Amino acid sequence: MTTASTTASEAAAPADAPVPLAAGEIRRVGVVGCGVMGAGLAEVCARAGRDVLLVSSGEAGLARGRGRLERSLGNAVRKGGISDAEREEALARVTYATDLGAFHDRQLVLEAVPEHEATKLRVFRTLDEVVEAPDAILATNTSALPVIRLARATRRPGQVLGLHFFNPAPVLPLVEVVGSLLTDEGARRTAADFVTQVLGKQAIHAGDRSGFVVNALLIPYLVAAIRMYEAGYADARDIDKAMTLGCSHPMGPLALADLIGLDTVAAIARALYEEFREPAHAVSPMLSRMVDGGLLGRKSGQGFYTY
* Ramachandran sector of residue 3 (left: φ over 0; alpha: ψ -120 to 50; beta: rest): beta
Q: Which of 137, 170, 168 is nearest to 47 (CA)?
A: 170
The residue type found at 305 is Y
Task: Count the Cβ atoms, other than its own, within 10 Å of residue 173.
Answer: 12
Can you tell me the distance from the alpha carbon of 126 to that of 133, in angstroms, rounded to the nearest whole number? Answer: 14
Q: Are 282 and 269 within 8 A, CB to CB?
A: yes
Q: Are 205 and 192 within 8 A, CB to CB?
A: yes
Q: Are 144 and 206 within 8 A, CB to CB?
A: no
Q: Which of 304, 307, 38 is nearest to 168 (CA)?
A: 38
Q: DSSP character for 205?
A: E
Distances in whole angstroms, Cα of residue 130 to Cα of each of 93, 141, 155:
22, 19, 12
In the chain, DSSP finds a helix count (H) and a strand count (E) of 12, 8
User: Catalytic positions, please?
Assistant: 143, 164, 176, 215
Distances in whole angstroms, Cα of residue 62 to Cα of each of 34, 58, 101:
6, 6, 16
Task: Count the Cβ atoms, other than its own, within 10 Å of residue 73.
Answer: 23
Can you tell me the distance from the alpha carbon of 157 to that of 60, in angstroms, rounded to the nearest whole number? Answer: 32
Q: SS3 string of 227-261?
A: HHHHCCCCCHHHHHHHHHHHCCCCCCHHHHHHHHC
